[in-house]
Structure 1
Amino acid sequence: MNRFNVKKLGFAFGLTGALIYLGCMIVMTTAGQEGTISFFNSLLHGLDTSSIIRMDVPLSEAFFGIIQTFILGWLIGACIAAFYNVQLKK
């Protein structure tokens, strides 16, 4: 079995999370509040998101959010790769 490169898998997870975050930002920008609520209600199997959707997100908060999402994704991917590699027989 092949081993995972911990840094590369971490980067892939982090970048994927950041792209999903960016996609959410695009939905909120283009669809407006009602469209955003409809989109996320459909995505979350009918869960009512109207009480938690906030449209007045400051740019600085969005910037830090995408950075935090990347870091968390990187940590998750790196952990998965490391745990996988430890389980392989040498």
Structure 2
Amino acid sequence: MYQLNVKKLGFAFGLTAAFLYLGCMIVMATAGKEGTITFFNSLLHGLDTTTIIRMDVSLTEALLGIVQTFILWWLIGACIGVFYNVQIKNK
């Protein structure tokens, strides 16, 4: 069976999550508070995000968030790759 490249899978997960984070930043920057609330309420099947949407996010905080998101999802992707590969070796 085909084995996954753990580093490449982790990078793919991390980059995908970072792009989603960037998309969220763009929505917040262009739609304003009410538009952002409407967008995320509809995306989350009507979950009311009014009380958790915070628009005063600094650029430093946003950049730190995108880096943290990349690292977290890189680790998640790498773990999935490792678990998949270990499972193949046992068969």
**Partner residue of 1:24?**
24
Letter in 1 for 2:65: G
**Partner residue of 1:38?**
38
Structure 2 distance, partners of 1:23, 1:42, is 16
* Number of residues of Structure 1 aligned to a counterpart in Structure 2: 90
Structure 1 distance, partners of 2:6, 2:61, is 29
Structure 1 unaligned blocks of 5 or more = none
Structure 2 unaligned blocks of 5 or more = none
Structure 1 distance, partners of 2:26, 2:59, is 13
**Partner residue of 1:5?**
5
Local SS of the residue matching 1:3: coil
Local SS of the residue matching 1:11: helix
1:63 offset after TM fit, Å? 0.4
- TM-score when normalising by structure 1: 0.98
TM-superposition CA deviations, 1:42-63 (whole Å, max 9, x none): 0000000000000010100000
**Partner residue of 2:63?**
63
Letter in 2 for 1:39: F
Aligned-residue RMSD, C-alpha: 0.8
1:26 offset after TM fit, Å? 0.2
Structure 1 distance, partners of 2:18, 2:60, is 15
- TM-score when normalising by structure 2: 0.97
1:25 offset after TM fit, Å? 0.1
Percent identity over paired residues: 78
1:75 offset after TM fit, Å? 0.1
